[in-house]
Chain A
Amino acid sequence: MTEWIISILLLIGGSFVLVGSIGLVKMPDFFMRLHGPTKATTLGMASLLTAAMVFFSTTQAGVSVKEILISLFLILTAPISGYIMIKSAIHHKLESIERTKGKDNIEGDF
């Protein structure tokens, strides 16, 4: 039973991570590339870590829950690193593809 849970969680996590990285390569401009890693990867990691949690709690003596911490850190930091990266992208005046709406919402460097 637990083996199933673990396997499923692992597969979900792995595929999300993969999807994030695919997005990183596939998307046409930087701003779109950013979405993959900041979201998909976060969730992917979360489920991988949950898998690990279940795994170690069952295979080894006592529950192992500290993997939650990693997820916590990722959830705290991922948005901010995304934010700071977009900031620098905007600062570097990276081109977003033409069909991007509301480019004028970007205020110039302030």
Chain B
Amino acid sequence: MLDTVILIVFTMIGVSLLLNVWRLLIGPSLPDRILALDTMYINSIALIILYGMSMGTTLYFEAALLIAMLGFVSTVAVCKYLLRGDIIE
């Protein structure tokens, strides 16, 4: 049963990733795209966690952890760019 559930959730995540890309592509504004990308980062965490579960290994946990930390940083960097241009001032 678990495998089927995992597969279902996989598809859910997949669909949401596609939705994110859709938003990323159509925009219209830059903040929209950034938001899409940020969401994408988070969803890919889900993807990796699920993958780890389906493979029964925790080896990929750190990847997820880093995405959680770093996705934030890059979002912040891009927004800072939009706000101030110079992100390290």
Contacts and interface: CB of A to CB of B under 8 A. Distances in A.
A51 B12 CA distance: 16
Interface string B35-74: 1101100110110011011001010010011001100100
Contact of B39 (A13, A37, A70, A91): A37
Contacts, number: 145
B42 A45 contact: yes
A4 to B, nearest CB: 8
Contacts of A69: 65
Question: Main SS of the interface on chain A?
Answer: helix
Interface string B14-31: 011101101100000111
Interface string A20-45: 11101100001001100100010011
Nearest to A83: B79
Interface string A76-105: 011011001111110110100000000000
Question: Main SS of the interface on chain B?
Answer: helix
Contacts of A78: 42
A33 B42 contact: no
B16 A60 contact: no
B88 interface: no
5 contacts: A34-B35, A44-B46, A49-B49, A69-B65, A81-B38
B38 to A, nearest CB: 6
Contact of B68 (A14, A55, A70): A70
Contact of A21 (B43, B68, B69): B43
A97 B15 CA distance: 27
A67 to B, nearest CB: 7
Contacts of A86: 31
B66 to A, nearest CB: 10
A72 B9 CA distance: 22
A94 B46 contact: no
